[in-house]
Amino acid sequence: MSRPLRLIWLQSGGCGGCTLSLLGAQGPDLYTALKGAGVEILWHPSLSEASGAEARDLLAAAARGDEPFDILCLEGSVINGPAGTGRFHLAAGTGQPMRDMVAALAQRAAHVIAVGSCAAFGGITAGGGNHVEATGLAYDGTTAGGLLGAGFIAQGGLPVINIAGCPIHPGWFVDTILQLAAGDLTRADLDEWERPLAYTAQLVHHGCARNEYYEFKASAEDLGDLGCMMENLGCIGTQARADCNIRAWNGSGSCLDGGYPCINCTAPAFEEPGHAFVETPKISGIPIGLPTDMPKAWFVALASLSKAATPKRLKENAAKPRASVLPRDKRKGGA
């Protein structure tokens, strides 16, 4: 009987939010999913008992090739500062930059996974002036390269697999691990940013509970209103690639369900939109960021028609925190 696939998980420049999200996996939970896939966690900084010298020795042995493992996961961005030395983030107790440990382990792994947008592209850690010189594993924002270089291919034949999101949905990670364990994940299963198509083949817009308001361009004016947040509140769910409203967090939640606009956190450079996340930049009243594949002329024409046809119910309810006009069956009387 072959041994389980062994997974090493490291954390670098980030908040640990992807691990927290992953622990919320349901149907099955994380441990059951990994066991079912024949995957064991060789080491994780938050989930493993080994720490201190024991953990350092294990990771060093893995980097030398003395401790076999198959999958390397990095959560958080690679820290290269100051001045390219990597010494802003040292692996505890080693005096060694964490980025060097990550690079050494990546050369030994059959598969390398960037968990979250920080590990994939630099993410929030790279925002502002990026004084810590944060990058992703294979990208620096939208530029190929990162820590491992644009041409990096892991021993299993795939580039870095970017499970981007801030944080990721636990299902995105579990799906990817199941595909890897079954030997079914190929380059054709990754999109142009090497993100798994299992979740990026959809738009966040798909399944949004506000879609009726979107169709009639009945817009929210303030956070907490029921209407579509594209026109005034910065929502770019019509451009963002993820299944957040189809496969909700904890069975029922998404950013939009919580009353906050989609900020396209699965995309590179989402952290620097050039404006407040809750503002929609416009030119002559037309949003700059139009729905994916939508020509501007068609959007203007359809928006005008939609607004002209907006039912009174949606007009009344769009800028309110709760519906005051409810749908009615006309056979029972009333409007």
Judged against a pLDDT cut of 80, whether residue 335 lies above it is answered with no
Give the pLDDT score at 277.
96
Find all residues with CB under 8 Å of 8, minimum gap 6, and list them: 42, 43, 44, 59, 62, 69, 71, 72, 73, 105, 109
Give the pLDDT score at 242.
97
CATH number at residue 242: 4.10.480.10
Give the pLDDT score at 247.
92
Judged against a pLDDT cut of 90, whether residue 278 lies above it is answered with yes
Report the candidate in 185, 249, 229 with the shortest Cα–Cα distance to residue 21.
249
The position carrying tokens 């592209």 is 121
Find all residues with CB under 8 Å of 101, minimum gap 6, and list them: 10, 59, 63, 91, 94
In a domain, 329, yes or no: no
The upper half-sphere exposure of residue 206, i.e. CA atoms within 13 Å in the direction of its Cβ, equals 13
Residues 219, 169 share a domain: no
Report the candidate in 247, 255, 244, 240 with the shortest Cα–Cα distance to residue 291.
240
Region 185-213: mean pLDDT is 97
Residues 251, 178 share a domain: no
Q: Which residues of 28-42 are buried (b: 16+ CB within 10 A; e: fewer)?
A: eebeebbeebebebb
Region 97-126: mean pLDDT is 98
pLDDT tens column, 143-156: 999 999 999 999 99
- Looking at 137, 171, 200, the residue that finishes a domain is 200
Residues 307, 168 share a domain: no
Give the pLDDT score at 165.
98
Residues of the chain above pLDDT 90, percent: 85
266-322-218 Cα angle (round to 5): 65
Residues 189, 45 share a domain: yes
Judged against a pLDDT cut of 60, whether residue 219 lies above it is answered with yes
Range from 21-25, 240-244, 330-334 carrying the lowest mean pLDDT: 330-334
Give the pLDDT score at 334.
57
251-257-258 Cα angle (round to 5): 105
DSSP 46-87: TT-S--HHHHHHHHHHHHHTSS---EEEEESBEE--STT--T
Residues 151, 76 share a domain: yes
Residues 179, 210 share a domain: no
For 294, left (φ over 0), alpha (ψ -120 to 50), or beta? Answer: beta
In a domain, 332, yes or no: no
In a domain, 328, yes or no: no
Residues 131, 213 share a domain: no
Residues 192, 286 share a domain: no
Three-class secondary structure of residue 186 per DSSP: coil
Beta bridge partners of 190: 196
Find all residues with CB under 8 Å of 95, minimum gap 6, and list them: none
Whether the Cβ atoms of residue 187 and residue 179 lie closer than 8 Å to each other: no
Residues 237, 188 share a domain: no
- Torsion sign (Cα): 30, 32, 36, 42: positive
Domain count for the chain, please give it.
Answer: 2
Beta 111-115 vs 78-79: how paired, if at all?
A: unpaired
Q: How confident is the model at residue 96 (pLDDT cuts 50, 70, 90)?
A: very high
Mean per-residue pLDDT over the chain, rounded = 94
Residues 224, 82 share a domain: no
Residues 179, 57 share a domain: yes
Question: What would the two tokens of residue 42 be?
Answer: 């060789």
Residues 63, 100 share a domain: yes
Range of the domain at 95: 5-200
Judged against a pLDDT cut of 70, whether residue 1 lies above it is answered with no
Give the pLDDT score at 291.
86
d(CA 125, CA 131): 9
